[in-house]
Amino acid sequence: MEKLTFEFFGGAPVNATRAPALVGVVGSGNLEVLIEPAELGGACAVEILTAARGFGATWKAVLDDFFTRHKLADVRIAINDVGATPAVVALRLDQAVEDFLGGGA
C-alpha cells in the first residue's frame, strides 16, 4: 500500500456543520471517498491509501483537475483505493462533493 497526501489552497470554506458523506466501495477497481468539514486553516486536504504503488503523479493530476472544478476549503477528503482508474476516481470525487454539498443520501 502507499499513502499519499495533498493540500490545496484558495478555495471557499464550507459550512462546518455539514454532515460527512461517503461514496463508493473499497472493491477491486473502485474506491471509497469520505468527505467532511475540518478546521484546516483554509486548506482542502486529501489523504489517500492506495493498493497500487507508484501512481503519485497521476493522483496529483486527477486532484488538480478536481480542485479546479470544486474549490473547497476547510474540507478533509479521505480515500481508500483498490486500483481505480483516473476516470473512476474523478467521478467518485464529483459524486462525493454532490452528496456532501447537496446533503443527499
Give me the residues that bind another protein (CB under 8 A), please. 1, 20, 22, 25-27, 30, 32, 34, 36, 49-51, 78, 80-82, 105
| Residue 30: CB minimum distance to another protein, A | 7
Q: Which contacts qualify for 96-105: CB closer than 8 Å, 24 or more apart?
A: 96/21, 96/22, 96/23, 96/24, 96/33, 96/34, 96/35, 97/35, 97/70, 97/72, 99/21, 99/23, 99/35, 100/14, 100/18, 100/20, 100/21, 100/35, 100/36, 101/14, 101/18, 103/18, 103/19
50 vs 59, which CB is nearer to another protein? 50
27 vs 41, which CB is nearer to another protein? 27
62 vs 84, which CB is nearer to another protein? 84
